[in-house]
Amino acid sequence: MREQDRMRLLVCDAVDTMSRMSDKVLADTAKGIHEHMEEVFLAAEGREVEDVVTSTLVVALAILKPCLEQMLAQTSDRQYRGRRKQEVMCYNEDDESI
């Protein structure tokens, strides 16, 4: 198994495991992750800090993108609001040309 696949499975399994935790356990886990990441940042030197920050952001964005898409897909009346917003924008454009 490639290192890339191991990292992907590790992160996905961690998120899946956390989704089954109670709120208190999840909060305690998040606190532990926060504290450990602080230690990692403080222990890093030079360009290693940038590498750790970059990798953290890449992973966070990879997790957030499908979450955002899922939340948008489940939002009630999303299409209605989208059409309504377009109608308002077109209406405002017509007003400016008068």
- Please tell me the distance from the alpha carbon of residue 98 to that of residue 95, in angstroms, as a whole number: 5
- Indicate the SS3 state at residue 84: helix
DSSP assigned state of 21: S
- pLDDT given for residue 63 in this prediction: 93
- pLDDT given for residue 88 in this prediction: 62
Q: What are the structural domain ranges in the chain?
A: 3-97
CA distances from residue 23 to 15, 27, 33, 45, 66 in whole angstroms, order as listed: 14, 6, 15, 35, 22
- pLDDT given for residue 7 in this prediction: 93
- Please tell me the distance from the alpha carbon of residue 36 to that of residue 29, in angstroms, as a whole number: 10
- pLDDT given for residue 98 in this prediction: 47
Q: Which residues of the chain have pLDDT under 50?
A: 98
Q: Is the entire prediction scored with pTM above 0.75?
A: no
- pLDDT given for residue 78 in this prediction: 64
- Asked whether 9 and 20 are in contact (CB, 8 A), the reply is no
- pLDDT given for residue 96 in this prediction: 54
Closest among 49, 62, 65 to 11, alpha carbons compared = 62
